[in-house]
Each structure stands twice: as C-alpha cells, then as structure tokens.
Amino acid sequence: MEEMKNKVVLITGASTGIGEGLAYAFARKGGSLSLCGRNVENLKKVEEKCVSEGAAKTIQVVADVTKVDDMERMVDETVAKLGQVDVLINNAGYGCKGGIENGTLEEFDEVFSVNLKAPYYLMQRCLPHLKKTKGCVINLSSCYANMFVPEAVHYSMTKVGLDHLTKCAAIELGKYGIRVNNVNPGLVVTEMV
C-alpha cells in the first residue's frame, strides 16, 4: 500500500479514461496526486475516489495542455501544494478523423499541440523538479505509432513523434537518474474512443 508514499505524481488528462484509471492505481499505492484536466466535475469525482482509494494527498488542477500558461500553472501548483514532482505522466491525448486528402491544418495543429508539444514542454517544465527527485516520465503513446491508418494520419504521426521524443529524452535525461518511458496501448474503450 505504501509503495508510492512520499511520491508525487502529476497526471494530465486525469479526468477520464486511462488517466482516471492511472490515478486510482497510484492512489491505491499511497501516492500524492496532482490531477490535471479540463473537466471540473469529472476531476472532482476522480479526486474523491482517489482519496477513498488511499491517496496520501490530492489536488485538482483545471488546465488545458494546449495553453502554455496552463501547463506552467500545472507544474507550479503541483510543486507549491505537494512539494515536488516524482512522476510526470503525459496522458492527455486528442485524435480526430482525417487523412491527407480531407484533413485540415487546424486539426493538425490541435492534435500536435496536445499529443506532442504538451509532453515536450511538460518534460522541460518538470525537469528541475525531476532532477531533484531522480524521478520518471511516462508518456502515453499508442499502437497507432506502428500502424498505418489513413483516416488517423494526424494522430498516428504524433504518436510516432512521441515514441521518438521518449527515446531521445531517455538518453538525454538518464545522466540525471531520470527514467523516461512510454506505453503504446491498443484500443481502450474510453470517452475518446
């Protein structure tokens, strides 16, 4: 139960789906959780369940990973209220249907902003804190990184990029004792799917 005692886990996209499930798993291990997401009502429900599951401490940070100010606030509030960051989980994700023929640049920008730019920037922003704790980063990628699905070209490209970012970050940050890994889940039934 106390495996994560004295550890702080920041989870993006914690209000639903995989992020919600991860929050409960870390709560059961006794971690302190920074639950970040856009849905205020869902975050409140997730926080309540995390407390009942055994989380040491919890905070909600209502934030949008497409906004730099929100990402900065996420990290700042986590450190101010919970003291540190031991684990960063870049879970927030977005996908839309579209390929080369019918996709738009607006969709491209939105998907890349959530799925690739946000993990990159949050790793940068958390780096000083992860150095102190010799923490870790977990990026939620997708099996789509290794599949060729024309109607999901934007999403697939971001997941290939996230896999590469993870490998580069693991090599670069390993010298600080920081581990960086990703998970490539298959289809998981969530509100997004």
Nearest partner of 191 among 61, 21, 25, 51, judged by Cα: 21
pLDDT digits (tens, 9 = 90+) for 39-89: 999 999 999 999 999 999 999 999 999 999 999 999 999 999 999 999 999
- β-partners of residue 62 are 37
Q: In the predicted model, is pLDDT for residue 32 greater than 90?
A: yes
- Active-site annotation, residues: 155
Which domains, ranges and CATH numbers included, belong to the chain?
8-183 (3.40.50.720)
Report the distance separating Cα 101 and Cα 143, nearest Å: 23
Contact 7, 83 (CB under 8 A): no
How confident is the model at residue 188, as a pLDDT? Answer: 64
The letter for the amino acid at 99 is G
The percentage of residues in the chain with a pLDDT greater than 90, rounded to a whole number, is 82
- State the average pLDDT over residues 96-100: 87
